Amino acid sequence: MDAPKLGPDTAEVYERQKMINVTLAAPTPREAYELAREKYGEDFVLVSAKQIRYEEEGGVFSEITISVSKERFLQLDMTEEDESDTEPEEGLMEELSLLREQIAMMKGDLLSREASEETLIERVKTLFNEKGIALEWLDSVLEPLIGSTVAEDEKLLVAYLLEEIDETLQVRKEEIVGQKVMMFVGPTGVGKTTTIAKLAARYAYMMEKPYRVALINLDSYKVGAFEQLAHFADIMQLKYLTAASVGEFREVFAELSDYDIVLIDTAGMSPYDTEKLVKTVEYLSSDTSQTIEVSLLIAATVKYEDIKDIHETFSFLNLDSIILSKFDETKHLGTVLSYLLLHPVPLSYFSIGQEVPDDLVVADKEYLLQRFIGDLDA
């Protein structure tokens, strides 16, 4: 035959236009013909018949080839296959489609879970950001949580962030060993002079032992500034000295070797002031090898825009500690907290009001966090 092979070998199916050739085998040509009639009724045409000898068994078989309409052939073929061969295949198909459904469900589940986690993280991030915490810090802390169990629960997420804040914040123990020299820097009006007065009273009269306290005023610019600190010194009967230049500072500092604590008041943020501060710090650490603790005062009320300027002006002094002032004036500590998270310098004291000497507390993370949580709750 010259037609191309189309079907399985056993059936030797050939297609001619709309007809298909089917070969059937039986012991005799007659039985083969009966077989064809059984299968296709009258709907076929006999094409050829031949006898086949089976070598091994020495038997003879008759083969007939008939031509059946494609339609009829397919009908029969399908029903036959349905009964026998296709069963396992169909089972497989069913299993496959079931599996596919399951995978689709799992995928959907996973996607919706990821999506809900993302929205949960976004929600908590927005909450903290609205309270002043920088996105930069929030992203760095929250990113590793994506896909973790913490990210599936809002309360856990909030608790995790508070824990991270707690861990990042640093506080400095109040320690007085040897001579302690402290310089207070920060923008005008932040509360430097008031805080120095509070600390002077604390060290001189309110600790378990009285310390000898001296005050130096480097704040030669502000009108009335000399009088303010001098007034406190007078009331508390403490040594008080002024120095308008680094040269003068050198002279007055030399007089103070007997004092346990020297507190240095400074002026604001002009380049002239900061240059004087740098020179003073340099002088103290190089010429007298005296360790000097530089404390930056930041008001809890500080605005986000201002805190950058403050950082740029004072951070190159190598800050040893930060004092937060005006705690009593705001409930919103996010901005200052955010600064502390991005620039972790230990906190030393909190100024919580105008009263000298009472409105001062040693820095305490709990105190700060409780207030921040109160603000979050609101």
Ligand X SMILES: Nc1nc2c(ncn2[C@@H]2O[C@H](COP(=O)(O)OP(=O)(O)O)[C@@H](O)[C@H]2O)c(=O)[nH]1
Interface residues with Mg ion (CB under 5 A) are: 192-193
What SS3 state is found at 145?
A: helix
Q: CB within 8 A of 138, min separation 6: which ones?
A: 125, 128, 129, 161
The answer to whether the beta carbons of residues 255 and 302 sit under 8 Å apart is no
Residue 117 binds which one of Mg ion, ligand X, none, with CB within 5 to 8 A depending on kind? none
Residue 352 binds which one of ligand X, Mg ion, none, with CB within 5 to 8 A depending on kind? ligand X
- How far, in Å, CA of 204 to CA of 197, rounded? 11
* Of residues 305-334, those binding ligand X (CB under 6 A): 325-326, 328-329
String of contacts with ligand X for each residue 136-175, x by CB under 6 A = ----------------------------------------
Residue 192 within binding range of ligand X, rule CB under 6 A: yes
- How far, in Å, CA of 47 to CA of 68, rounded? 10
Tell me if the bond preceding 271 is cis, omega within 30° of 0.
Answer: no
CB of 166 to ligand X, least distance (A): 23
Residue 64 within binding range of ligand X, rule CB under 6 A: no
- Count Cβ atoms within 10 A of the Cβ of residue 89 and give its class: 0-12 exposed, 13-18 middle, 19 or more buried: exposed
- How far, in Å, CA of 127 to CA of 149, rounded? 20
Residue 188 within binding range of ligand X, rule CB under 6 A: yes
What number of other Cβ atoms are within 10 A of residue 334's Cβ? 20
Nearer to ligand X, 134 or 360 (CB): 360
CB of 184 to ligand X, least distance (A): 8
Residue 325 binds which one of Mg ion, ligand X, none, with CB within 5 to 8 A depending on kind? ligand X
Residue 198 within binding range of ligand X, rule CB under 6 A: no
Select from 47, 306, 353, 373 the one that contacts ligand X (CB under 6 A).
353
Binding-site size for ligand X (CB under 6 A) equals 17
Nearer to ligand X, 260 or 359 (CB): 359
Residue nearest ligand X, Cβ-based: 191
Residue 62 within binding range of ligand X, rule CB under 6 A: no
What SS3 state is found at 318?
A: coil
Q: CB within 8 A of 255, min separation 6: which ones?
A: 241
